Structure 1
């Protein structure tokens, strides 16, 4: 009881602090509404040493939050990707900031028009637990590049990482420029209710609905990066060893706790056994042991572990075939890790078929024709990512034109997320809006259309009274 009261007090204190910071950032933005390119680059550049100089601290904090997170996965998927995004943004920022020239029609002549990209004001960023550095700092960089003040709410599931980010950000920026908020679910709820000028949320579809509902009360624009069940289709003739190797890159990273991880495989019916053997060999090669292997990332907490093991148990009880890959025949009792597991003969009434898996379990579904595979994908909610493996470009074009997804990789998995020059975002149940690339800059900017008329006023020729010669001439030649 004492602990609960203490936690409640801490959360109330954090909510009060959050409101104070929000008010301070709004006031600071009004005093300085349009930072120069040099000022924005200076802010962004402060982040690089924060990442590079504290690599070990980042890896240790995340690993402690997960009980074990592979160090190389933190460096590859969090720090390195974020640094690449920082370099990319810094190099292109001045170009993005330039006004965009537009053309006027005969009705608006003589005059000129253009679009300027104005900072929105105060941006809120809500961060999930699976990649807490990358998914906090990449949108932070983009929001700063667009000239905004930023508040970041970290996940309660990664408290050590959140505390480290709050400490290091506090050393680099005044609170009225950038601030990090930590705390439990009630703090996150209060955060989503602030009248931000834009709110970016990354997380589950279920929570995304609550965030959008809270934002709607303030008419706050939202970008939602949600996830979903991302399919992976193996072409009829694609080399199976290569497919297993490339799919494993996206599925095994972070033990499948990735929003764009392959969720289910559509495999040619006559090659199912071939895939199963290739997948077993690939996982075994990567993880000859698992329980005490530092390269094998754990499930983030007991709640997520129970959810995943519950999927396996229910699927098995309802008749699914469960193939556990455990090369060293280890006992996982008491461990927060789960071996990579294939689930076959899945039916739609199983929870594993309905929910985003977000873990080291993978459904494998046979198909006969490419059209059948496409229909299987289209019968389900639109995913955040889709993967297709085929050297035949006509088949690739067929998949691209007849499916919807937030993004696509051909002949690979998840690599598109690391390509800075293309937008990243979902569609429908997998989200709305996008960031990364110039689209990210535009997400956090107001594209303000401007029209300027010169000294000569051609409008006088169409002023009332109507029915004069100029009106008749315009209607005759322009209303067709």
Structure 2
């Protein structure tokens, strides 16, 4: 059975047995041909195409209220794009990369190349906020590189995880892809398995535990951790357009996105205009929240209470809190309206923690270097966004800050470009995937060198007893 039940006595043994089964099948299959890789990617595409509505229904049940269009676009369509993109480029990615040699080795018959081999069995620990895209997106790269995969989906989306396990079992053999459902205990046992690579998407706190567990087996990791992605709005920006795009990005999935705009730094001369425009745009897009089929609920009561706590803490510390339309949150349905928090203190909870919800701090700055300093005093973000029409200012910001990725004059869009890698820096992540970078992340780049028949050691004088010939070569290199 592909789906492994919740944590019970013997679950660790069952996890190890599944890993052993996949590793044995992987080694028996080597080399993993392009036809087999494409076949697995096509089966992944068929899974999504033939079950898109059922998957959207499952996500809606897990959230309590989630836009069907958001689920179709972000979870289904973008997962399809990942797999199709890999299929169309797989032949080119897989070609050995020929490398140059020191003169005259190639003339004498030498050759150097890098061959890309699959690593083996890859573990995928996926989150709840985009439970299909952030599971099957990495899986597309894993399969394109020729690997097998074991998946542990989030326990916070039980309906989606159960359906995903059922579908994976239907479209893949257990030796190819297996889903392990369950709670924290299963996740802990899963992350401790001696995979050939481990992918985790989620919060930094859990990411640290995953990395420690992987370290015991020296398992290489890819960590996508999110963090506080800033938006910088220059006075030169088109304020109306900036506000519209910030609100669209922030309220997608009710802000439950690792790359969502986390806070806005705006030049003070434009602050009042931007605040008003943000509130106006939110009112246009979401004239109501409860029962709105285009809006998404907060995933559970714990996260709802956490976000309410951020607002209360900010207000107690003197920040101005503006609630969209004056609407209060609905605890029963976990519907939380868009709220602006103006100039919260730097040590407030909303400024210390990743928000992951529809709350947006807005802070004024005097000059661009003030904004840069504010960003650089914090962990390096997964995303950075700039709105403005001054090329010199834009270049200064790009050169003076370090972030996983950047979108200029919009938010989040860099993650939607298959040619661009997705990955963080330090606290926002390790490694990257998407497109060719994903193929490389889940492949082993094996160096292969063929020595010519000519006696190279004799040519250099590198055979004992060493003498003047080797001395001349060394002196030449030292110059």
* Short-chain TM bin: over 0.9
Q: Tell me what 1:93 maps to.
A: 90
Task: Give the distance between the partners of 1:429 and 1:169, measured in 2 at CA.
Answer: 32
Contact 1:232 1:262 in 2 (8 A): yes
Task: Give the distance between the partners of 2:10 and 2:272, measured in 1 at CA.
Answer: 57
SS at match of 1:300: coil
- 1:139-288 alignment, distance < 5 Å: 139-288=138-287
Task: Give the distance between the partners of 1:308 and 1:336, measured in 2 at CA.
Answer: 11
Contact 1:125 1:151 in 2 (8 A): yes
Q: Tell me what 2:32 maps to.
A: 35
SS at match of 1:401: helix
Tell me by how many angstroms 1:14 deviates.
4.4
Tell me by how many angstroms 1:235 deviates.
1.2
Tell me by how many angstroms 1:345 deviates.
2.5
Contact 2:7 2:183 in 1 (8 A): no
Task: Give the distance between the partners of 1:421 and 1:181, measured in 2 at CA.
Answer: 31
SS at match of 2:433: coil
SS at match of 1:448: strand
Cα deviations by residue, 1:267-312 (Å, 9 ceiling, x for unpaired): 1112222111101111111111111111110000111111111111
Tell me by how many angstroms 1:414 deviates.
0.5
Cα deviations by residue, 1:24-70 (Å, 9 ceiling, x for unpaired): 01111111122111110011001112111212111110011001111
Out of 62, 68, 73, the position equivalent to 1:71 is 68
- Give the direction of change, closer, same or farther, for the CA distance of 1:464–1:457 in structure 2 (3 Å limit): closer
- 1:403-414 alignment, distance < 5 Å: 403-414=401-412
Q: Tell me what 1:415 maps to.
A: 413
Task: Give the distance between the partners of 1:107 and 1:474, measured in 2 at CA.
Answer: 14
Task: Give the distance between the partners of 1:55 and 1:283, measured in 2 at CA.
Answer: 29
- 1:448-459 alignment, distance < 5 Å: 448-459=446-457
Contact 2:329 2:336 in 1 (8 A): no
Structure 2 residue 380 is the aligned partner of structure 1 residue 365 = no
Task: Give the distance between the partners of 1:330 and 1:13, measured in 2 at CA.
Answer: 47
Gaps spanning 5+ residues in structure 2: where? none
Q: Tell me what 1:388 maps to.
A: 386
SS at match of 1:326: helix
- Give the direction of change, closer, same or farther, for the CA distance of 1:11–1:398 in structure 2 (3 Å limit): farther
Segments of 4+ in structure 1 off by > 6 A?
none
- Give the direction of change, closer, same or farther, for the CA distance of 1:424–1:333 in structure 2 (3 Å limit): closer
Q: Tell me what 1:4 maps to.
A: none
SS at match of 2:325: coil
Contact 1:14 1:183 in 2 (8 A): no
Contact 2:343 2:364 in 1 (8 A): no
Task: Give the distance between the partners of 2:146 and 2:86, measured in 1 at CA.
Answer: 13
Tell me by how many angstroms 1:368 deviates.
1.2
Gaps spanning 5+ residues in structure 1: where? 1-7
Q: Tell me what 1:291 maps to.
A: 290
Q: Which stretch of structure 1 is more off in the superposition, 143-152 or 393-402?
A: 393-402
Aligned Cα RMSD in Å? 1.5
SS at match of 1:428: coil
Task: Give the distance between the partners of 1:50 and 1:9, measured in 2 at CA.
Answer: 24
The number of residue pairs the alignment matches comes to 472
Q: Tell me what 1:5 maps to.
A: none
SS at match of 1:41: helix
Q: Tell me what 2:21 maps to.
A: 24
